[in-house]
Structure 1
């Protein structure tokens, strides 16, 4: 309407209503951005440090054995042998540890009605999956720069082994979230537990060279079979039998237990 010849005022257009899926994706996007900025700082260098930290871990191990001239138990390249063992274990351990810390670091966000505990966990998972993939790419790029061919003899076997490491990290990390709800000291306990797993998983040796009775016990550790899975991609003649079903079901079962505990136990404590 207009009065005394004055033009009518234009009413502001209503903001378009977002669907439930679009709203949820925006929440996840905001959580991921906040997670990256609070953990890594406002610059790209902070995120680069997190991506390069596992790479430094891998190459420190490789450098120690290279300088000591320790030969690889199999194959011609000691760098490939140690990297093929360290990378899948580090992917699983870093992912499970960072997912465990997600809730304690972002608990105040759950006071907003749009943000649920599971959203915080999913956002941290997505950030860690991207970081893990970037770390793997950087490791391979550095090996190429050093004149070492990082391509596995059977790429499908190696890639599925890395994916299984991601699945195991997601599953164990989700369970750790629920354990932390009851025992906050588990953050330190899990670090010590991971040291034992790292030493005994076969990063620096071949477990199948151990006595049969001891090797059979070691096989219950999914990290041992993860390493053997990836190494089969690089050394197809390696004399091991990987229980693929056991590793995948271990990860899926852990994930299901963690999600059920989050739904029926942790939410009631919040």
Structure 2
């Protein structure tokens, strides 16, 4: 009886099917980058290093000194990494939803599955890029370890959380207005250039700094930099940042429930 029963394949649970779907979507995500192979995914991870090299090279050529600490590389990295983490995740989650939309014709694949898969891929990519930048800094004799590790890591995680929240909102908007994908690129570029990646926002005139702090990315960058230099004159509104993260995530999930699913039905 036992031998006869063991000849039948085990019935897969809903969790097994869901995990297999996520695994397939994540592998497809990684292979669909830059040429349709896994080397293209490596290019995605290398972007932060290329970005750091270009900006630091420009600062060195112009003779611009870092306004915080003694290393221009560390200063740029402390601002660019959280800003790029937010930018990539919030944008790529939306792109993944649009790219994988044809797969949702299969009954096992739901539109929200494509969102979750892209979020997981982008989180892994962000941490791989962070580790790679740290290795590059060490190769140039720069210590990437912050004075307050907890503060710096929490700030970076806040950037990832905000990227997920805004990314889910973008999915809801793109399900109705696909052209939003192009418009959002302009928005993220503007936010990136005005968030204080290449300068210290707290040294701007007080009237300008007041309005800059309404941008949560500005405060997240200051949060990360506090981990490297606790003496910089900034006051991070943690409640405001948490409100932006959980508020955007709540709005995005509600849009997925009432807009994205309605489009799928």
What range describes the TM-score normalised by the shorter chain of this pair? over 0.9
Match of 1:264 among 247, 251, 258: 258
1:128 aligns with 2:128: no
Q: CA RMSD in A?
A: 1.6
Match of 1:80 among 54, 74, 80: 74
Aligned to 2:32: 38
SS of residue matched to 2:234: coil
Aligned to 1:183: 177
SS of residue matched to 2:124: helix
Aligned to 2:234: 240
Which one has a bigger Cα radius of gyration? 1
Number of equivalenced pairs? 261
SS of residue matched to 1:39: coil
Aligned to 1:251: 245
Alpha-carbon offset, residue 180 of structure 1: 1.0
Bigger shift: residues 156-165 or 52-61: 52-61
Q: Is the 8 A contact 2:33 2:44 kept in 1?
A: no
> Where do 5+ consecutive residues of structure 2 fail to align?
none
Q: Is the 8 A contact 1:154 1:234 kept in 2?
A: yes
SS of residue matched to 1:135: helix
- Following TM superposition, where does structure 1 have runs of at least 4 consecutive aligned residues deviating by more than 6 angstroms? none
Q: TM-score, structure 1 length as denominator? A: 0.92
* Structure 1 residues 72-221: aligned runs within 5 Å: 72-221=66-215
Alpha-carbon offset, residue 82 of structure 1: 1.2
Alpha-carbon offset, residue 39 of structure 1: 2.6
* Structure 1 residues 23-62: aligned runs within 5 Å: 23-41=17-35, 43-62=37-56
Could you list the per-position Cα deviations for residues 147-206 of structure 1 after superposition, in whole angstroms to 9, with x for gaps in the alignment? 111111111100111101100110011101111122211111111111111111001111
> Where do 5+ consecutive residues of structure 1 fail to align?
1-9
Q: Is the 8 A contact 2:147 2:228 kept in 1?
A: yes
